[in-house]
Amino acid sequence: MSLEKCDIGVVGMAVMGQNLALNIESKGYKVAVYNRDHDKTKKFIEERASNKNILGTYTYEELAKSLNRPRKIMLMVKAGKPVDDVIEQLLPNLEKGDIIIDGGNSHYKDTNRRFKYLQDKGIRFLGTGISGGEYGALHGPSIMPGGDKSAYEEMKDIFEAIAAKTEDGPCVAYLGPSSSGHYVKMVHNGIEYAIMELISEAYDIMRKVFRLSADEMHEIFKKWNDEHKSYLMEITYKILEWKDEETGKPLVDVILDSAQQKGTGKWSVQDALDLNISIPTINAAVNARTLSAIKHERLEIGNIFDTPVNNSLNNDFINSVRDALYIATVIAYAEGMKLLQVASSEYGYGLDLSEVARIWEDGCIIRSALLKPIQKSFKSKPNLVNLIISEEFRKDFENRIPKLREVVSEIKKIGIPIPAFASALDYFDGLRSKELPANLIQAQRDFFGAHTYQRKDKEGIFHTEWQDIHNI
C-alpha cells in the first residue's frame, strides 16, 4: 500500500524487525520499512504486510523522505559494526532533531559512543533494549529505552502502544541518559542466563538421579510453574513434552548439549568485575555455556573419569530441588539488581530499580511472579542494600536456604555439576559472613608484593617487613 508519509521507519527485516513493524502498524501507525536485501523487503510487503499500512522502501533516501518530521527510525540490525554502518548511511538523509532508535542488543559502551557522536550532529539517539523474542515483538515486548529524554517523549505513545501491559501499565519507561537502556537490557540477559542454567541443572538432577522421563519432568515443571509463574519455567515444561517428528523421541533428548551465547551474559560479568561487584550465579551460568561448547573434550575426559550415578535419595528430594530452584532464582535477581544499583551510581543513570522490575513484569524473557515483590522491595526502600534482606523475601530465605544447602551437598556427593546452584549458595553464605578469610589473602599480598593492609584496631595503611630480602 502506497503511503505519503509514515509515522516511523524500521530498518532490518529479520523476524524481530518484521514483527515489530507489524506490531506498530496494528496500533494504528503507518510504518516504512527497509532492508539491505531488497528481496526480503519485497517479500515482506507482499506477504506478511499485505494490505497493511506498511510501506516498503529501497534506499535510505526513500526511507527518509517517507517519514513525518521529526523522523523516527528504529534499527533492528545485528549489534556491532552493522549499527554503525546503518547510522552512517542514514545521516546524509537526516536533519537536526531527527531520532534514531537502536533496538538491538548493543554493548552499552558502543551506545555511549553513538549517543555522543549523534548528539554532536544534532540527531537524537535512544539505545533501547527490547525483550520478548519473536512473540513479544509482535504481541507486546518489554521495552527499555535510554538516551535523549526529548526523543523518548516523541516515541512515548508508540512505545506504550506496542509494549506488553500489566495492571501497573505498559511495560516501558524512560530509564535514564546515554546507555542506561542497553545496560538494563544487558543485565536482564545476565539474569536470564542464570535462571536458564538453574532450571537446566534441576532438569539434570531429575533425569540423572531419579531417571525421570521427559514426560514425567514435564508434569513436575508444569506444577512448579503454578508457583513461579515464570516464562522460562513455562517454556521448559512445553519443551519437555515436544516430540521429535523423525524419531518419536522427546525433542530435547536429541538436541546436542552445546549451548551458544551472543555476549550479553559475558558483558554483564565483565562489567561486574570492573565495578567490583560479585555476581557468581550469573558468572557460573556464562561459564557453564562455555564448558558445554567443548563437547569433544568432555567426551574424552568423561571416558577416563566416568562416575556412575548411584541414587540413594528418595523422591521427597525433588521437593528440595523445587525450593532450591526458587531461592536460587531470587538470588540471581538479587545479583542483577545489585549490579544495576552500582552501575546506576557509577555511570550517572539514575535508575529507579522499582520501575525496572515493573517493566520486566510482562513481555520480557525473565518475567515471573517474583518481579512483583521485587518491585515492592525497591519501592519501599530505593536504596535497599541487597534484595536478599528485603522484607518480601526474608521468610523465603529462612525456609528455603536449608533446601538449597541440602541440594548442593547431596548432588556434589554424586558428582553432577551444578555450578549455578552452588554459586548461588556461596553468594548467600559469603554475604552473611561477618568474617571472611580475606585477611590472610591481604597478608599474603603484603608478604610477597608489599601491597599493604588495613587493621581492625586502628585507622591507616600498614606494611610489614615479613622477611629480610637481602639475606635470602
- Measured between alpha carbons, how far is 59 from 41 in angstroms, rounded to an integer? 11
- Measured between alpha carbons, how far is 260 from 4 in angstroms, rounded to an integer? 44
Strand 54-56 to strand 31-34: parallel, antiparallel, or no bridges (unpaired)? parallel
Single out the catalytic residue among 30, 185, 266, 338: 185
Query: Which residues is 31 bridged to in the sheet?
Result: 8, 54
In 3D, which of 136, 123, 78, 145 has the Cα closest to residue 105? Answer: 78
In 3D, which of 347, 379, 341 has the Cα closest to residue 361? Answer: 379
Query: Which residues is 75 bridged to in the sheet?
Result: 11, 102
- The answer to whether 364 and 143 are in contact (CB under 8 A) is no
- Measured between alpha carbons, how far is 111 from 125 in angstroms, rounded to an integer? 9
Single out the catalytic residue among 25, 30, 192, 201: 192
Q: For this structure, is 185 an active site residue?
A: yes
Count the Cβ atoms, other than its own, within 10 Å of residue 3.
13
Question: Residue 143 belongs to what H/E stretch?
Answer: strand 142-147
- Measured between alpha carbons, how far is 38 from 30 in angstroms, rounded to an integer? 20
Burial 216-229 (b: 16+ CB within 10 A, else e): ebbebbbebbeebe
At 406, list the grid cell: 541440602
Q: For this structure, is 192 an active site residue?
A: yes
- Measured between alpha carbons, how far is 337 from 184 in angstroms, rounded to an integer? 9
Q: Alpha carbon of 239 to those of 134, 242, 306, 442: distances in Å? A: 17, 5, 28, 49
Query: Which residues is 453 bridged to in the sheet?
Result: 462
Q: What angle do CA 316, 317, 322 make, to 5 degrees?
A: 105
Which distant-in-sequence residues (6+ apart) come within 8 Å of 224 by Cβ? Answer: 233, 322, 325
Q: Is the dihedral of CA 8, 180, 144, 186 positive or negative?
A: positive
| End-to-end CA gap in the chain | 86
In 3D, which of 447, 462, 401, 451 has the Cα closest to residue 428? Answer: 401
Which distant-in-sequence residues (6+ apart) come within 8 Å of 123 by Cβ? Answer: 91, 94, 96, 97, 98, 99, 100
User: Which residues are identified as catalytic?
Assistant: 185, 192
